[in-house]
Structure 1
Amino acid sequence: MANKRILVTGGAGFIGSHLCQYLLKQGDEVLCLDNYFTGSKENVRHLIGHPGFELIRHDVVEPILCEVDQIYNLACPASPIHYQYNPIKTTKTSVIGALNMLGLAKRVKATVLQASTSEVYGDPFVHPQREDYWGNVNPNGLRSCYDEGKRCAEALFFDYHRQHGLNMKVARIFNTYGPRMHPQDGRVVSNFIMQALTGQNITVYGNGLQTRSFCYVDDLVEALVRLMNTPDDFVGPVNLGNPGEFTILELANKVIELTGSQSKIIYKPLPQDDPVQRRPDISLAKEKLNWSPFVQLEEGLKRTITYFKTLR
């Protein structure tokens, strides 16, 4: 198969930078597009100068013209601190950004993959979450800009597929962690590691018994590429995440153990609409992608802690 020319929006972000690196290694040409709101040129600095890599500063809210074979649409702030900073901009990025990428894919006959999120399930009544569950989402809460923006983007992708026959895929990404996470993104893994390494108290919201599932970034990138290259008749949505389920308190204690920190755990009120349970059913990913995550939480945390130590 000839090498492909691939556009990655949000390519200088945490997941995007790992995806760009993976695609280059398999011999593809990569156009990395980012406006650096949450992404960073540092995340892709090691790729600059690679003959197949091109870095473009651009906001997906504005149209762009380029000739590509595939588009991974990852552009959107994904942590509560960042997406609530400018909620209107977050919604515009999800919705208008999706429209622009769909329009581009339609014009150049590219396959386009939407990086959706487990947040489309909201605070779920069904556990674990399957793709046929419609979710329990607050349409006007503090998280709505992200949750409803991503839900609208999914609707647009499926409408373009039905109305125009567009080749597309939808991935619902669950909690992902690893090197190049933003140290101040407010997400639980980066929060706990930074607090532990700097000797601060570990901040647990609520009673710490709410659960999450944590997927190491290398596993997620492998799944995204496999999904993109499935036959045209499989479009998703498909859950991508690690079905291992841990309480937030278990995660806090594991980070303290692995860092050797003397930090103490303190408790604060649970934020509005924070999900009580979150775990993917990945049966569909196993069946259609022949994929399941490989890296266990302890090993992934060790690699992530090593990365965060370099930032101090």
Structure 2
Amino acid sequence: MHAQDKLAFLLSLVPYLMDHDRVSVADAAAHFGVPPEQIRQAVRLIAVSGVPGETTQYQHDDLFDIDWDAFEQDDEIAITHLVAIDESPRFSAREAAALIAGLQYLSGLPEQADRDVVGSLMAKLSRGASAAPSEVAVGSGDLDEALATIRRSVATARSLAFDYLNARGERERRTVDPLRVESLDADWYVRAWDHGRQAVRTFRLDRMSGLDVTDEPASAEGRDVVLPETLFQASPDDLSVELELSEAALPLVDDWIGGSERRRVDPDRVRVTVRLAHYGALTRLVAGLAGLATVVGPPDARATVERWAGDALANYATGGGSPSPATGPAR
């Protein structure tokens, strides 16, 4: 074996041994597909390898060490002292748990086909954390059945038909080719090629019902469309609303601001223009920015939010709670 190959083999063997507190020579040889004697030679080489200290000379703590009794008597490998490698940064148990939860969430999305890769990454995060991560699970919601149907539509390259309730309370049957499922705060949205509109539209899952995967193949137009990065896209028919809000809240409205000019009012507040399909969507946006945003204009927009706030106060006074912000049609 050439020197370069030996180095590559050692660089693979050391992490493997780190992941296994104690492993037999036979198991290591089977894992790497090499003769057992090659594993033994590599282990002996690891035991005389290390990083010199400040004196540029090798001291005992500057070298790897193994359990020699186990190696020589039981043909087992256990590294008892690591050099340099164990000083690399590791995720804390809480960080690893948070990342694993995020990966579980992503693995449930319809467009996430390679779930084996996600599962492998979660396992590596568990092993590589500084301590055992807390067990986490992303709970199932009421929309799981709808997501499963959308996932089946994507996997079979078939169109999806469903009833959609728009902001006017009208229900309409739509046929689309799902392209991407995304969430914004607690809401789920489907971006899809709409056969009737011959354009990309965004639908809220909780306003979709009667989902059914049809026998109609996904259209070529849907397969070729390039989705923009932002969830909502401006339309010539959109309404413009001027908001004044804290600069720290700007990331919360990025999807609605687009290329709007941002005008500073004072050191902490900025005035922007958002584009919305209707004023019902405005009440929903403002409800999510409680205390952070002020509607500046136009007058109709201010009146809409004022009416919604008044209804909320009236409901609280009678013990009914806050009314749900209006939701809008697909764009």
Instruction: Looking at secondary structure, tell me which structure has more strand per residue.
Output: 2
TM-score by length of 2: 0.22
Q: Could you say which structure has the larger radius of gyration?
A: 2
